[in-house]
Copies of this chain bind each other. A is one copy, B any other.
């Protein structure tokens, strides 16, 4: 059975053309995708609204996770960890290449713990490294 089907079923989501297509995009993607990437890359285009709602649904169900940025976009990437609905466990570092602009999930690089001042209770930590990626250095 197709990977995208498996994921949708496992999460109790009904299988629709749009969801399959968008999920396949993520499964095939090199790096993270922004909303705009999805609108561009789907030759057969869905309504913008559907894309918004699909990304929301996937995020809620722990299928994709969000990556914070400083340019008024949100990046999304597949959760490869054991994320559940309502609680993500993506504690890996994200690398944004300033050259090719790709964003890569470094699944093998765990976000280090950090000691916070007394009284601050951490729930989730994100780490974003900007730099030159493997492909772009020469």
Question: Once the chains bind, are B130 and A123 in contact (CB under 8 Å)?
Answer: yes
Please indicate the chain B residues that have their CB under 8 angstroms from the CB of A137 in the complex. 119, 121
A129-B125 contact, Cβ under 8 Å, with A68-B69, A73-B72, A108-B117: yes
- Flag whether A100 is at the interface (Cβ < 8 A): no
A95 CB contacts on chain B under 8 angstroms: 116, 120
Counting chain A residues whose Cβ lies within 8 A of the other chain, the interface size class is 35 or more
The answer to whether A130 and B122 have CB atoms under 8 Å apart is yes
* In the bound complex, CA of A56 to CA of B66 (Å): 25
Q: Tell me the residues in window 78-131 of chain A with beta carbons closer than 8 Å to chain B beta carbons.
A: 93, 95, 98, 106, 108-109, 111-112, 114-131
Partner among B66, B70, B109, B127 whose Cβ is within 8 Å of the Cβ of A127:
B127
In the bound complex, do residue B127 and residue A126 qualify as a contact, i.e. CB atoms below 8 Å apart? Answer: yes
Which chain B residue lies CB-closest to A118?
Answer: B134
**In the complex, A108→B120 CA distance in Å?**
13
Cα A62 to Cα B67 with chains together (Å): 24
The 7 lowest CB-CB distance pairs between A and B, nearest first, are A119-B134, A68-B68, A122-B131, A66-B70, A123-B131, A121-B132, A68-B70
Seen from chain A, the residues whose Cβ lies within 8 Å of a Cβ on chain B are 66-74, 93, 95, 98, 106, 108-109, 111-112, 114-134, 137
Contacts A71-B74, A112-B112, A126-B129 known; list 6 others, CB within 8 Å.
A72-B73, A118-B134, A123-B131, A124-B130, A125-B128, A128-B128
